[in-house]
Amino acid sequence: MDEKKQIELVYEQMYRAMVEKDTVALNRLHADDFVLVHMTGMHQSKQEYIRAIADGTLNYYEAEHEQMDISIDGNKATLTGRSRVAAAVFGGGRHTWRLQLLMRFAKRNGAWLITESRASTY
C-alpha cells in the first residue's frame, strides 16, 4: 500500500473509532503528543480528547468523507480532509457539520500517527 493510501486509511479509521467510541483504536492512531484544536480555538491533549469521546462529551454518529488532500515530505505529512460529520458535542443537540480537518502526521516506527488536528468548517 502506498504512503498516501496509508494516511487516508488512518483518517477513515479515526472517524470509525470516534463513532464507535473505540478508545483502543484512538490511542493507536494518535501520537502521545497529539493536540486537537477545536473550531472555537480550544486545545485538547490526546488524553482529554479520548476521554471526551468515551464519556459522551463528544458524540459522533457518522461521517461521510468528501475530499482528502495529502502531502508527504519524508516522515511528515499533512492531510486536509473534508467530511460531513453528524455529531452532538459539549451538550448540544445532534447536528451535521461540513467539517474540515487540517491534520499533521508523523511516521514513527513504520506507522503514520496523527500529531495535530485543527478543525474548521467549509
pLDDT digits (tens, 9 = 90+) for 13-44: 999 999 999 999 999 999 999 999 999 999 99
Instruction: Return the pLDDT at 112.
Output: 98
Q: Is 72 left (phi over 0), alpha (psi -120 to 50) or beta?
A: beta
Q: Is residue 47 predicted with pLDDT exceeding 90?
A: yes
Q: Is residue 115 predicted with pLDDT exceeding 90?
A: yes
Q: Is residue 5 predicted with pLDDT exceeding 90?
A: yes
**C-alpha closest to that of 8 among 122, 105, 88:** 105
- Nine-digit cell string for 24: 483502543
Instruction: Return the pLDDT at 14.
Output: 98
At 40, phi and psi to the nearest 5? -75, -10
Instruction: Return the pLDDT at 1.
Output: 78
Per-residue DSSP letter, 38: -
**C-alpha closest to that of 119 among 75, 87, 91, 92:** 87
